Structure 1
Amino acid sequence: MSYKQEKFHNYYKNWIKVYKEGAVRPITLKKYKLTQMWIEKLIPDLEVWQLSRIKYQEILNKYSETHERQTTMDFHHQLKGAILDAVDDGLISIDPTRKAIIKGKSPKHKKIKYLNQFQLQNLIMNLKLDSNINGYWLILLIAKTGIRFSEALALTPKDFDFAKQSININKTWDYKDTNNFSQTKNASSNRSVKIDWQTSTQFAGLIKDLPENKPIFVNGKVYNSTINEILRRVCIKARIPVISIHGLRHTHAS
């Protein structure tokens, strides 16, 4: 059997193994494998050579029936790389992805993405900031800096430069799988982030006796949902819109 006659979902599975395993972050690899599961479900019998523009559009249309447009766009982008390689290798005669139309179901009611400055101050005033590191301090730091949740979890005392009032972002914490340090999203994610003098002073006192290479916010397994629940209760207490920990990044950017 030639590669042309191979089932497309098998071709894509092997493409992931050859080109993506060990080359992308674990969370990105999971997304590729989820896409592979979907195409196995949508086109279990389609052979590589049978992938025409019309057939590809039908696949996108079917996927879009249960997914919003942005998710369908991501699905399309994850398939496109493998398909273009198949075209380059002569397995498909023309590019089936050319002029593809991206559709999607109507988005759900969108939650509040960010707080205004008055709401943010109310949030900070209602954080239970005691003398020990806890989830409230994590929320404060993300609110003040706009760093990612995984970046905040990876911070160690060594990453704080109180003389320059900054923190060094050079790694993340893989709280979903390995519960250990991991690389940042991309090279540009390695950066120095300024913190205000008050936050700098507060954290200088908090972490002065902690091991310099151990993450300050991690003590066992960490769940994003746990921090979001703490944040939800604070928002309710502060009488402001409930926002997610990810939403604090938008708040900082606003």
Structure 2
Amino acid sequence: MLLKQYQQVSQGNSKDTQVLKFDDFASIGISMPVSENEQRRIGGFFDRLDSLITLHQRKYDGCTLSPIFFRKVHTMQENITSESLFCDYYAQWVRTYKEGAIRDVTMGKYRLTQSWLSKLIPELRLADMDRTAYQQLINGYAQHHERQTTMDFHHQIKGAILDAVDEGLIPRDPTRKVIIKGKQPRIKKMKYLNQFELHAMLADLDLGDEASWDWLILLIAKTGLRFSEALGLTPDDFDFAHQTLSVSKTWDYKNGGGFVPTKNESSVRKVQLDWQLIMQLSGLLKNLPHDKPIFVHGKVYNSTANDVLARHCKNVDVPVISIHGLRHTHASLLLFAGVSIASVSRRLGHASMTTTQETYLHVIRELENKDVDIVMRALSTLI
């Protein structure tokens, strides 16, 4: 109708060029919904259409979603309604969006969250998931867990809830202004060696001509690598010319072996090596297969490496620490030597400096006490 009116009032010098005058345009009548309810229904229709378009534009693992994935979403929409149980929705959400997209370790955490939902809210419907119901869920979980663990639980559920809101299954976001509670965290005493104790323990190592647990202990002590990162090293990861070590994968020793991705994106890094370690390793690695794990020979157990390290600690009468304690020792020595938290964080492959600060708070506090003494001495010389 509007097009017909336009054709009637349009003018021009040729049939290919037409001009619509303002006065003529102003005279055209445009039909509008009269009632406010009708306008709201039309607006709601386009809101739902926009949500549907957004849903189908989702990206999966950085790539355009395959037709198979779209069929999964469509199936999920058909099977789940606002009357469905939230537990059922969450289970389908995990299968649809998480399976094959995350590491097995992370997937295990989502499965654990799923089991807790079955315990805490087995009969809760999507339509009943409001702020009160969600806060009660978080409170129930917090009775058994520390605050940080409860925060992780909240984040794993929130993704599914926001999708349910987008799909119109939950009226509004119930996670808004949630209060995260939790049990008082247990005091965790970190075990690490000081510089003199570490030197004595390293002197007790038997560094032969073949790769061994003793060599792995030396490497972790000097690089701060995680146990799985050290196991995943191959000779190709060492750049002797630039004195660097590339960490880009780990060894899945808990699940039968094989290379798997690092703990997080920040864990992919280059670690600078001292010249003495470079000289030692260049001779050790020269005849080894360039793309095979250096320290893996059959089934690997963390307890075996811990037993070897414990024996060396006892031999020189220093506190017994674990392989992971060597990583703490490495970081603590760097901090006491004056290395910045930012540099230590990058070297360890932490996701953020906050992780480093929280993990080594005891060291930082000791350094702050020393800084106070230094500041007082400096100020006393100003007179």
Q: Normalized against structure 2, the TM-score is what?
A: 0.62
Structure 2 CA distance for aligned equivalents of residues 126 and 31 of structure 1: 40
Go from structure 1 to structure 2 and tell me whether the alpha carbon gap of 1:109 and 1:130 turns closer, same or farther (over 3 Å shift).
farther
Percent identity over paired residues = 59
Alignment of 1:1-254 (within 5 A): 2-112=80-190, 114-254=192-332
The amino acid of 2:107's aligned partner reads L
Shift of 1:113: 5.0
The structure whose Rg is larger is 2
Any unmatched runs of 5+ in structure 2? 1-78, 333-383
Any unmatched runs of 5+ in structure 1? none
Asked whether the equivalents of residues 5 and 48 of structure 1 are also in contact (C-alpha less than 8 Å), the reply is yes
CA offset digits 1:140-176 (Å, max 9, x no partner): 2112112222211111111111222111112111112
Give the CA RMSD over aligned residues: 2.0
Structure 1 CA distance for aligned equivalents of residues 96 and 318 of structure 2: 49
Which is worse superposed, 119-128 or 44-53?
119-128
Structure 1 CA distance for aligned equivalents of residues 177 and 304 of structure 2: 43
Asked whether the equivalents of residues 256 and 299 of structure 2 are also in contact (C-alpha less than 8 Å), the reply is no
Asked whether the equivalents of residues 160 and 168 of structure 1 are also in contact (C-alpha less than 8 Å), the reply is yes
Which is worse superposed, 29-38 or 1-10?
1-10
Shift of 1:214: 0.7
Higher relative contact order (Cα pairs below 8 Å, separated by 6+ residues): 1
Asked whether the equivalents of residues 3 and 91 of structure 1 are also in contact (C-alpha less than 8 Å), the reply is yes
Which is worse superposed, 52-61 or 124-133?
124-133
Q: Give secondary structure in 2 for the equivalent of 1:105.
A: coil
Asked whether the equivalents of residues 4 and 48 of structure 1 are also in contact (C-alpha less than 8 Å), the reply is yes
Shift of 1:85: 1.2
Shift of 1:114: 4.0
Go from structure 1 to structure 2 and tell me whether the alpha carbon gap of 1:206 and 1:72 turns closer, same or farther (over 3 Å shift).
same
Structure 2 CA distance for aligned equivalents of residues 200 and 38 of structure 1: 49
Which is worse superposed, 241-250 or 71-80?
241-250
Structure 2 CA distance for aligned equivalents of residues 78 and 202 of structure 1: 45
Asked whether the equivalents of residues 173 and 182 of structure 1 are also in contact (C-alpha less than 8 Å), the reply is yes
CA offset digits 1:105-131 (Å, max 9, x no partner): 222231215443333323323333333
Asked whether the equivalents of residues 172 and 182 of structure 1 are also in contact (C-alpha less than 8 Å), the reply is yes
CA offset digits 1:30-80 (Å, max 9, x no partner): 111111111112111111221122221222222122212211111111111
Higher helix share: 2
Which is worse superposed, 95-104 or 236-245?
236-245
Q: Give secondary structure in 2 for the equivalent of 1:4.
A: coil
Structure 2 CA distance for aligned equivalents of residues 147 and 117 of structure 1: 18
Q: Normalized against structure 1, the TM-score is what?
A: 0.90
